[in-house]
Amino acid sequence: MTNSAPLPPHILVLDDDPAIRQLVCDYLGDNELRATAVARGAELHEVLQRETIDLVVLDLRLPGEDGLQIARKLREQSAIPILILTGRADEADRVMGLELGADDYLTKPFSPRELLARVRALLRRVSMQASVADRIAAVRAYRFGTWELNLGLRKLRDAAGRQVDLTNGEFSLLVAFLSAPQRILTRDQLLDLSRLHNAEVYDRSIDVQILRLRRKIETDPARPQFIMTERGAGYVFGATVEAVR
């Protein structure tokens, strides 16, 4: 009988410590993930050339190699999620790694259980982004209330044809809300969805951007009917949305 079960995600681990490589591969394998471990940057790139990799776990402290340079090169060449490993005292490396495009970090020593949780969270995030991106790609415009947002033209107009200018960040946040109406979205989810449009949206600026959006689309920004706050959880777009395909 042919096994029709889908292949599990493939994780590539770069770490110079053979004990860690073995531990990670065994633990991920025991939890329905495939794992390949290598000790050097050159081996990592060889695997990437012949295998489809879903996520890279990268130790930044490699003897004789620059882990940050490896992270930079990885991000320049692909959008594969990167989880970096650093020492507890290596805050500068963590910050630099995240600035270079790494998606998350874990400090050594770490528990395999936490590593697995972070790997799964990153895989879910990428899957959600791909799913939303596919849905958005099939949509030409969104209509809500008396408003229409044209995605191709990136223009927001009301029923009278009046155009309201949006910054890149405001546009991306509004699309994120319109693509998931009636759902509570956390700040992290809004950040992830906004990155689909390469917008410069940061966690500390989300509340400010939402305030500006409310001023532009709400009749009374102090009593919003579209973008509503769910205290302690995030935000929800409470109106009915029509997707024009």
Does the structure show a pLDDT above 60 at 207?
Answer: yes
Domains and CATH numbers, the chain: 10-134 (3.40.50.2300), 138-244 (1.10.10.10)
Q: In this predicted structure, what is the pLDDT of residue 127?
A: 74
Q: Among residues 234, 212, 226, 200, which one has the least CA distance to residue 165?
A: 212
Choice between 132 and 4, residue whose per-residue pLDDT is larger: 132
| Predicted pLDDT of residue 164 | 93
Rounded Cα–Cα distance for residues 182 and 241 (Å): 9
Task: Report percent pLDDT > 90 for the chain.
Answer: 36
> Would you place residue 191 in the very low, low, confident or very high pLDDT band (cuts 50, 70, 90)?
confident
**Residue 126's closest CA among 193, 211, 75?**
193
CA distances from 223 to 94, 180, 181, 210 (A): 41, 21, 18, 13
pLDDT of residue 132: 59
pLDDT of residue 28: 94
Residue 11: which pLDDT band, with cuts at 50, 70 and 90? very high
Residue 1 pLDDT exceeds 50: no
27 or 245, which is more confident: 27
The C-alpha angle with vertex 85 and arms to 80 and 86, in degrees rounded to 5, equals 140
**Each residue's pLDDT tens digit, 73-130:** 888 888 788 999 888 777 787 888 888 788 888 888 899 999 999 999 888 887 776 6
Arithmetic mean of pLDDT, 204-212:
82
> Residues 200-214: what's their mean pLDDT?
75
